[in-house]
Amino acid sequence: DLSQASSPLARIGQIYGEALAKKLIRVEMEEPGMRLLAFFAPPEFSRPTRTDQHLFLSGRPVKLGSLAVPIYQVLGQALPAGQHPVFFLYLDIDPKLVDVNVHPKKEEVRFQNEEAVKDLFRRAAMRALGTFTPTWEGKPMPTSPQKTLPPPRSFGPQEEMISFGSPEEKPWRVLGQVQKTFILVETSDGIEIVDQHVAHERILFEHYRDGAEVPMQRFLIPVQIELPFDQAEALREAIPMLRALGVELEPFGRRAFLVRGWPAALAERQARLGFLEPLLSVAESWRTGNRELLDLWREVACSAAIRAGEELSPSEQEALISAWKATKEPARCPHGRPIAVRLTFEEIAKKLGR
């Protein structure tokens, strides 16, 4: 006998094991007269049969029947052939919207608006799908914490430290990273303290501004995002211009969108960080009247750039500084913030009383 469970998830863990319960993706949604709590298993827990698919209506198990169709339409694309998704749906609904007397044992029910219920299940499945590992070119995107620097140009092999000496060597060297936010650079006459985020933002922005083509990486499994209504309306209007930036979006209801493609040089990194923040920035920029292509790219570049607090390897620091120094406007980021603070050796010596 099973002991009393404190929650639906705890009960799932009792029956199916903690290994599955810990991996389930929780989705909560609410519509007028309906409230859904759903748990979806990642693709690696798929089954060869449909036995691990459950619908509970106000706590009572009922047959799914055709209500499973929209879930298959969404999750089926993420599963191997012949496999079935695992999910648990807990639906509370206004009694006026459902007839529970269709079956003597109340195992089957008839909804007043079955399409609304199917749409609720479909959107819940899409939200779960958005948390699965995005896939491109048939392979999962890396989700490990491996650090990669994704400026849209190739860097040659870099030594970890560059010393002064012969004329062909760079007249600067990277001393290291401070607080995982600033990079210290020694030059011939002083020290530069470089903000890694805004330096990378400048690199990305100039790459597009100078007319570089923006190749798109399309995802085999789209990622769903959902925005507030005002921003969603603005983003919908911006879709044609976003395509020129390598961003492919498809409206998916009033407030939701499917991200089907992203600038190739940024796709892997953005998949780890999430797509909502840069698109919210673009939507807000569009909503407030900044609708030039460069304005939109400025927002994408800002959100895609490496962050404060992100640790970089010595070679990544080197690559970033090299690319930043090659930009046409290295003093400020596209939004006008200074990128670096410079202290001459003379200033340092004076402050130290030398």
Note whether residue 105 is domain-resident: yes
One domain, residues 203 and 78:
no
One domain, residues 126 and 175:
no
Q: Render pLDDT for 315-342 as a digit per residue (tens, 0 to 9).
A: 889 989 999 999 999 999 888 889 999 9
Q: C-alpha dihedral over 200, 206, 207, 209, to 10 degrees?
A: 150
Note whether residue 216 is domain-resident: yes
One domain, residues 324 and 185:
yes
Q: State the pLDDT at residue 59.
A: 85
Please report, for the domain that includes residue 335, its CATH number.
3.30.1540.20
One domain, residues 329 and 181:
yes
Note whether residue 207 is domain-resident: yes
Note whether residue 153 is domain-resident: no
Considering only CA atoms, which of 274, 320, 301 is closest in space to residue 177?
320
With a pLDDT cut of 90, the percent of the chain lying above it is: 25
What pTM does this model have? 0.46
Separation of first and last alpha carbons in the chain: 80
One domain, residues 177 and 300:
yes
Please report, for the domain that includes residue 32, its CATH number.
3.30.230.10
Domain boundary among 79, 98, 130: 130
Q: Render pLDDT for 198-248 as a digit per residue (tens, 0 to 9).
A: 999 898 888 777 655 667 788 877 888 888 888 899 999 989 888 877 889
Q: Render pLDDT for 53-105 as a digit per residue (tens, 0 to 9).
A: 999 998 888 888 888 888 887 787 677 778 899 999 999 998 888 887 766 56
Q: At what angle do helices 293-304 and 196-209 cross, to 10 degrees?
A: 140
Note whether residue 331 is domain-resident: yes
Domain count, the chain: 2
One domain, residues 325 and 209:
yes
One domain, residues 339 and 217:
yes
Q: 73-101 burial, b for 16+ CB within 10 Å, e for fewer?
A: ebbeebeeeebbbbbbbbbebeeeebeee
Rounded to whole angstroms, how far apart are CA atoms 341 and 52? 59
Domain boundary among 71, 106, 130: 130
One domain, residues 216 and 81:
no
DSSP single-letter state for residue 157: -
Report the half-sphere exposure of 285 (CA within 13 A, side-chain side): 23
Note whether residue 154 is domain-resident: no
Domain boundary among 97, 130, 163: 130
Tell me the residue range of the domain where 200 lies: 171-353
pLDDT at 160 over 90: no
Note whether residue 162 is domain-resident: no
One domain, residues 226 and 327:
yes
One domain, residues 336 and 261:
yes
Note whether residue 327 is domain-resident: yes
pLDDT tier at 164, thresholds 50, 70, 90:
very low
One domain, residues 114 and 187:
no
One domain, residues 93 and 198:
no
Considering only CA atoms, which of 218, 221, 259 is closest in space to residue 75?
221
